[in-house]
Chains A and B, each alone.
Chain A
């Protein structure tokens, strides 16, 4: 779009890092649905794989410890936040909740630790969604 003569400010070359690299909706949705997939979509393959391994590792350890996969409990408003945080892990949450009918075990010795690992997996993936958004909008390399 560059034309001869004076160049208006709007036509200045956009820095490489500031250019969108894909569809923001696809990037965000894929990042949420499968941990690391948003980064893979944005051509950050190794980072995406590493994020996938870290989030899934946290998830599996949480399940192994029989931690609580939060769901909304009537009369306990904080469980709404915790559930939203856990749902941040995307498809794995729904697979565990509705596919595998995972419940956790409040009597298990690792219950509290497992809950922390499961919640952390969801929160980490939410940060990955934000990171994918920043990358696709050109705010971050």
Chain B
């Protein structure tokens, strides 16, 4: 359950389903918007992760 990627996918799934149902009524448009949001979130997350890859993560954050 604590896989970063899995949590990102679950989060993207919930949010994209929510906005699809909120903003679209036609089935075809719903599928299109769902794919746009879902793939945008997951792909965007992977892209940002890839862009950050060369940068060192630094020391661990202090525990509050």
Contacts and interface: CB of A to CB of B under 8 A. Distances in A.
Q: What's the dominant secondary structure at chain B's contact region?
A: helix
Interface in A96-134: 106-107, 109-110, 113, 116-117, 120, 124, 127-128, 131
Contacts of A116: 11
Interface stretch (A18-26, A53-61, A85-93): A53-61
Interface string B1-15: 110000100110011
26 contacts: A47-B21, A50-B17, A50-B21, A51-B18, A51-B21, A51-B22, A54-B14, A54-B21, A57-B14, A58-B14, A64-B1, A65-B2, A65-B7, A106-B64, A107-B63, A109-B2, A110-B1, A110-B2, A110-B7, A116-B11, A120-B11, A120-B15, A124-B15, A127-B22, A131-B22, A141-B25
Interface of B: 1-2, 7, 10-11, 14-15, 17-18, 21-22, 25, 63-64
The 8 closest A-B pairs by CB, nearest first: A113-B7, A54-B18, A109-B2, A58-B14, A124-B18, A110-B2, A50-B21, A54-B14
